[in-house]
Amino acid sequence: MTGVACLLAAHVLAQDPQPTPATAPPPAPAPTANPLNDTARLLAGMPPSADPIMGELTKESSWQQHAKFFDTAWANLEKNQISKVRAWAQTHIPDAFAAKGTAFYMFSGPDFLYADTFFPQADTYVLCGIEPIGPLPDVSKLPPHALGGELHALQASLNSVLNLSFFITKQMKDDFQNHTLKGTLPVLYIFLARSGMTLTDVSYVGLDAEGVLTPQADATRSAKATAPGVRIHFLAAGSTTPRTLYYFSTDISDGGLKQSGFLKFCKTLAPGNSCVKSASYLMHESNFSAIRGFLLENTTTLVQDDSGIPVSFFAADTWKMAYFGSYPGPISLFKNCFQPKLAEAYRTTKPEPLNFGIGYRHRAGESTLMVATRKPATGTAPQPKSEPDAVAPRAVAVPTP
């Protein structure tokens, strides 16, 4: 009987095997360290992902205060300004808003924020200004006692653009040069990180007189690099498509452009969409005719305030013009740059109001914004005018009584 029982038991086990224990899921891979992107996040008041040295810096009270400052400032900026500009752009410049090509932002300084807001799908951004690039930011080498002062200086340098929508050139000169974290790179890092981008590579580049882009060891201007620049590769949130930001520290007056290949380089990326704001009315002057001509010849859609290209340059058979906000005229510093033709356009077209402020007249209800859209070419292209009907002389500071 014992043998029969054993055989029956064996048969049952063979027909109904015992379940095997469930296999545990493999552990999630540890986040890959990206010191470059973690530096940008740390400067922007955002926790780094994996770098242990930077992780230690987030324990410093000065960084924690910095993070609170940026969290609050950015939430206010998004709610009161950027979300409104983004909604306006999506509605009123939909083709440019969705365009994948090049976005030009002349006289921009390090203001990636508005280039991204107007043209969020561009795969290449070209920014320029006279502000220096500076060294690659390396917060890991900052002693903890120096961190607070450097972060506070960054907050101060960004106050004007966070509150007024533009950088103040004179303040930038002081803010960007007198600290360890100096130049435009820290600001570009902050704007990219806070805009949800992931930095993948940063390198110095230079342009020779023919506009040929070459690698450089630093941002020093030389005979072989008359327009020093920086090239930043990055990824947008949720995307694996590489995108590129160029910033060149260069003089784009007619005299300055004769010494560099900046416009020849830009031509290789044209045509594109462009924006101009808070540009000191420089393109109202005859000695900024080359950059003005480049934009007129190579732009599909141009978004600008009244400090950009005078409305007299936009030929009716080439451009469709749309006006938004109001035109009370320039602030007193630039009072000589009043445009009668623009005032007439605002008087006769009844522009749609803006619910945000932009440019030197940064209060909602006072701002001027216009869109110039190139019309489809028909027949022979018209020749651009070399000068407007009347160009106001360069304004000078008005003495305070």
Domain coordinates of the chain in residue numbers? 32-275, 277-378+385-401
pLDDT recorded at residue 1: 46
pLDDT recorded at residue 54: 85
DSSP string, 232-293: EEEE-TT----EEEEEEE---SHHHHHT--HHHHHHHH-SEEEEE-S-TTGGGSGGGHHHHH
CA pseudo-torsion sign 89, 94, 99, 105: negative
Task: Give CA–CA dist 33/378, Å, rounded.
Answer: 54
Tokens of 183: 């130049």
Q: Strand 227-235 and strand 198-207: pairing?
A: antiparallel
Residues 61-94 as b or e (16 or more Cβ within 10 Å = b): ebbeebbebbeebbeebeeebbebbbebbeeebe
Neighbour tally for 219: CB within 10 Å:
23
Assess contact for 260 and 227: CB atoms under 8 A. Answer: yes
| pTM for this prediction | 0.84
Neighbour tally for 174: CB within 10 Å:
13
Mean pLDDT by 10 residues, the chain (401 residues): 42 48 57 84 91 85 93 92 96 98 96 96 97 89 82 81 53 56 92 96 94 91 84 96 97 94 97 96 98 98 98 97 97 96 96 95 91 83 41 36 33
Tokens of 224: 């072989």
Name the 3-class secondary structure at 154. helix
pLDDT recorded at residue 342: 98
Which is nearest to 234 in space by CA: 267, 196, 266, 279?
A: 196
pLDDT recorded at residue 18: 52
pLDDT recorded at residue 7: 40
pLDDT recorded at residue 143: 77
The radius of gyration computed from the CA coordinates of the chain, to the nearest angstrom, equals: 27
pLDDT tens-digit series, residues 288-328: 999 999 999 999 999 999 999 999 999 999 999 999 999 99
pLDDT recorded at residue 318: 97
CA pseudo-torsion sign 321, 326, 327, 330: negative
pLDDT tens-digit series, residues 154-193: 888 787 666 554 444 444 445 545 668 888 999 999 999 9
Could you say which DSSP state residue 78 is in? I
Assess contact for 19 and 8: CB atoms under 8 A. Answer: no
